[in-house]
Structure formats: structure tokens, C-alpha cells
Amino acid sequence: MRILVVCLGNICRSPTAEAALCEALGDAGLAGTVQVASAGTGDWHLGEPPDPRMTAAASSMGLRLDGTSCLITQRDFATADLILVMDRSNLRDVSALAPDDAARAKIRLFREFDPDADSDEVPDPYYGGDEAFRTVVEIVRRAARGVVKYVRERMGE
């Protein structure tokens, strides 16, 4: 199974969600079974590492971010089984890129899988302070555990 996590610039939320998913999948013994990647819808930060503020917040909470920003492509719709977006704006943008209804059916809001969600969106911390970045780490970790539960159900475990 392959999961793609998507946000706007691929430097804050989606790399953090990617790391949280890898962590949760590892904890569940599914690390080798499910591949996780992240991408963005905008090209402002192509080739850049995750935002240093996001990296610092994640690191302070025991989560390691790596990789470089890239864009979602048409190929991703063919190779991903599940495309998780961070907010409704990402949902509109990614849905508009989808080549057909089958591809659109793969797209879900990441926070749908957060059992304690008070919103269906992961807030963008880019213009916020340190607390906004820490909040994103907490949110994506909760949602990641829900994604793992969903993956297990789809895999028949």
C-alpha cells in the first residue's frame, strides 16, 4: 500500500504527517508493508527541507523530519492507494488535478482519521508561533493512529 500526504508547500504539515504516519506504522508493525511520501500543491519551496520551525517543534516532541519539498504529480494518482490532504483548500486543488473519478475517490482529508478532531482540517502553522507548530504535531500523530487503523481494516488485519 502507498499513502501520499499533501499540503500546500510540503514544508510543514505534510512532512510532519509523513513522519507521524511512519512512526505509527512502525509501532503497529506495518513499516515494511506501507510506503508513505509527501508532496505539495504549490511550488514556492521546491527542493527545500522542511521548515526549520516545524523541524524544531517535531524534534522537541520526538519526531524526526527529513526530505525535500516536491509537487504532487499525475503519476501520484496512479501509484498512491490513499491521498491524504491537510485542509479543504488542498482537497479542492488535489481533486482538480485528479485525472478521473477513480483517482478522486482516493483523496481524503487527513483529519477524518483523528478521533478527537474538532475540525476536519489540520491548521497551517506557517504564520503562527511555536505553539501552532507543536499543535500540528499533536494533531497529525492522533490522525496517524487513525490512518493505521484504517489501513489495518483495508488489509484485513
How many whole angstroms separate alpha carbon 24 and alpha carbon 20?
6
Q: 110 to each of 56, 114, 120, how far by Cα in Å?
A: 22, 8, 8
Query: Which residue out of 7, 12, 76, 145 is catalytically annotated?
Result: 7
Mean pLDDT by 10 residues, the chain (157 residues): 98 98 97 96 96 98 97 97 98 98 98 95 97 98 98 87
Indicate if 13 belongs to the active site: yes
> Which set of grid coordinates corresponds to residue 19?
513522519
pTM: 0.97
What is the residue-wise DSSP string for 27-42?
HTT-TTT-EEEEEES-
The question of whether 22 is a catalytic residue gets the answer: no
The full set of domains in the chain, from first to last, is 2-154 (3.40.50.2300)
Alpha carbon distance 57, 151 (integer Å)? 27
Provide the pLDDT for residue 157: 64
Strand partners, 7: 40
